[in-house]
Chains A and B, each alone.
Chain A
């Protein structure tokens, strides 16, 4: 299987060129955001305040890293977290902020998929738990926001170099590999 190299931030056209089943490797930069960061983003948007980082075109990584601080921050372990926890908040973030990639594990709901389809955003699955493999692809912390949320929930903007294997598991054309596998699993389970 050939691995396609992509860079973030990226534009809508490029995000829409990603198709479910593609395996890609990511370079450029990304931002981590989990439950608390998603809540704060929406809160600030509702209050009409500006968010202190740029989400347009961005790759949002569902990740709560372990960082070590000696002469600046270093990434110790940074695998993906369960993306489904962000399902309640992600559709609005996607519609309002236009990130082009979401990276995580386990996939997201049909509501989130619908927002991704409207806006032009793809979901990339990184192997859950492969935190050292991911850390190796995150050589530099560019900035950290909202440290008051705690290490896992803060927003870490980082340089990313050759992160993979990333599976395009949900694309901007309405296809979700997770949904396809899950439907097949449910059908088989009824027969057991």
Chain B
């Protein structure tokens, strides 16, 4: 239904946009952070980050050398041809942009180039009978991905347990995931679902209110508490540690309360495309809804 060449082309564009241009919501949040910081040290870090972002966009080169592993989210009518076109797009983008070949065999550590290999790239598919195909990409660097965490809480710990766990994750990660970070939280589901939800949450727009009142309130408490820690940009101290806390939830077993945290660095890269059957494609870096 969707020509493979169109999907492939769309994937290359999504990767170029996400790697070279910071999404507008993230850019605005970083500029806001610079306005708030008064000390020389955090300001020096944010100024360097913002000038780096401008240079990357101007030259159309990746803003960070860790171009990550591109995590895809697909919603609509999707079959193996779409997945094959995504793989082709990733290999082409790696060559053309260029992206750093990051994918390696976990045992031998051998790198075959091209960012492909067993299970690569990860693609989350949500089949839906929509009149279009939504593609989103979230390139995720290892500096932040290495601080991902899952905990199976006791249900009696409730949202207070979730709050404590998220704070603990940010404190343990410290300077290493390149703060100011974006915090993705997945609550509920099964263990594997919670991890996927935390990652999916990172696609949400910064500053947008969560439609679920309990999550909205927990998110805003967490944002102000994390920023009161004083970790600051790059962990060198300051009042901006976090740009936003984004959440997703799913129903879970009555005897469990899974919670997963996925941290994103300040280079919180994302890009979205909506492909229509007549060949039109809309692009956005903030999503469509």
Contact = CB atoms under 8 A, between A and B. Distances in A.
A binds B: yes
A68 interface: yes
A151 B176 CA distance: 22
B98 A177 contact: no
Contacts of B141: 129
A192 B228 contact: yes
Interface in A64-112: 64-66, 68, 76-79, 81-82, 84, 105-107
Nearest to B267: A129
A49 B239 CA distance: 49
Contact of A127 (B48, B101, B146): B48
Contact of B176 (A63, A76, A84): A84
B44 A105 contact: no
Nearest to B104: A150
Nearest to A65: B65
Given A167-B236, A178-B174, A184-B230, A129 B64 contact: yes
A66 B100 contact: yes
Q: Is the interface of B mostly helix, strand, loop or mixed?
A: loop
A131 B62 contact: yes
B231 A129 contact: no
Contacts of B284: none
A82 B51 contact: no
B175 A178 contact: yes
A79 B66 contact: yes
A131 B175 contact: no
Interface residues of A, number: 44
Q: Is the interface of A mostly helix, strand, loop or mixed?
A: mixed
A132 B59 contact: yes
Interface string A167-183: 10100000001100110
B265 interface: yes
B146 A64 contact: no
A127 B232 CA distance: 12
B167 A189 contact: yes
Contact of A182 (B64, B65, B143, B174): B174
Given A63-B65, A151-B101, 16 more contacts: A66-B62, A77-B65, A82-B143, A82-B146, A105-B143, A128-B266, A131-B66, A132-B61, A178-B236, A181-B235, A181-B237, A182-B231, A185-B229, A186-B171, A188-B228, A189-B168
Query: Which 5 interchain pairs have the tightest Cβ spacing?
Result: A128-B178, A130-B52, A77-B65, A150-B111, A129-B64
